[in-house]
Structure 1
Amino acid sequence: MIALDTSALIAIVKNEATAKACAAVLEIPNRRLLLSAGTLLELKIVALQKKCTEELSRLVTSLNFEIIDLTASRAEVAAAAYQRFGKGIHPASLNFGDCFSYATAKEFDCPLLYVGDDFARTDVRSALAAA
């Protein structure tokens, strides 16, 4: 089981340097993929900004991920993540959307598929390192 962050999925659709490594993690058979509803919203916004909505739609359609609803208790975990690791508070500088990915990884005690340095400065496990 792995939680997904916007950064990894955008890296795949934009064919960034980490695209192949991220795609390989997603292709591991029988792996449960978790995507917060908040992360899905962020993903759609970022794809619109980066002009890759069609590519993202194809990727999302090809993945069999589970959407994790945003509940009051999950919002509390995400808010606590910002309070601990948020921009201007901690070197991780998590943004609003990052907090949903973080909360999903923590709740389900699973690695997070992400790229960049932000989550590496938190206490979540990297799905790339675990692969």
Structure 2
Amino acid sequence: MTIDTSAMVAILYGEPEAAAFTRLIHDSATSRISVANYLELSMVIERQLGPEGMRQADAFFRRAAIDIEPVTVGQGHLARQAFLDFGTGRHKAGLNFGDCFAYALARDFDEPLLFKGNDFTETDIRSAA
């Protein structure tokens, strides 16, 4: 399963979906996040919660065995296509930069995507929830 930044933010902020998302991650044979989404997560978390928030996030990554995947050239092409097909200002899904990399990683590994919100429901990506 591929994890979008939105799902990790929901978990770390204790939002209503946190318990269900945590169960899905722990029950998944593999869980991964793009390094682009890891950076996006750190920007959100450290801005709101400071360095301690990201330390907690990193501890969660270790406990849940979430792999942080490098971006490949192929994923770059998939992310670009995601923007062309579903990007902000082009499609009602309105995928942003980070969304495009989550989409690309899920496509590259042919996995469902764990996310919060409605943006990805407007695409052809499979939901993990």
Taking structure 2 as the reference length, what is the TM-score of the superposition? Answer: 0.91
Looking at structure 2, the residues matched to 43 and 10 of structure 1 have their Cα atoms a distance apart, in angstroms, of 7
C-alpha RMSD of matched pairs (Å): 1.3
Looking at structure 1, the residues matched to 70 and 101 of structure 2 have their Cα atoms a distance apart, in angstroms, of 10
Q: Percent identity?
A: 37
Please give the secondary structure, in 1, of the residue aligned with 2:67.
Answer: strand
Looking at structure 1, the residues matched to 88 and 48 of structure 2 have their Cα atoms a distance apart, in angstroms, of 22
Q: Which residue of 2 aligns with 1:10?
A: 9
Deviation at 1:70, TM superposition (A): 1.0
Q: Which residue of 1 aligns with 2:91?
A: 90
Q: Which residue of 1 aligns with 2:43?
A: 45
Large movers: runs of 4+ above 6 Å: none
Deviation at 1:71, TM superposition (A): 1.7
Please give the secondary structure, in 2, of the residue aligned with 1:27.
Answer: helix
Where does the alignment leave 5 or more consecutive residues of structure 1 unmatched? none
Alignment of 1:1-131 (within 5 A): 2-28=1-27, 31-51=29-49, 52-128=53-129
Deviation at 1:50, TM superposition (A): 2.4
Is the 8 Å Cα contact of residues 10 and 56 (structure 1) preserved in structure 2?
no
Looking at structure 2, the residues matched to 116 and 92 of structure 1 have their Cα atoms a distance apart, in angstroms, of 10
More helix by share: 2
Looking at structure 2, the residues matched to 35 and 125 of structure 1 have their Cα atoms a distance apart, in angstroms, of 16
Deviation at 1:13, TM superposition (A): 0.8
Taking structure 1 as the reference length, what is the TM-score of the superposition? Answer: 0.90
Looking at structure 2, the residues matched to 48 and 90 of structure 1 have their Cα atoms a distance apart, in angstroms, of 30
Where does the alignment leave 5 or more consecutive residues of structure 2 unmatched? none
Looking at structure 2, the residues matched to 25 and 5 of structure 1 have their Cα atoms a distance apart, in angstroms, of 13
Is the 8 Å Cα contact of residues 3 and 101 (structure 1) preserved in structure 2?
yes
Looking at structure 1, the residues matched to 103 and 48 of structure 2 have their Cα atoms a distance apart, in angstroms, of 23
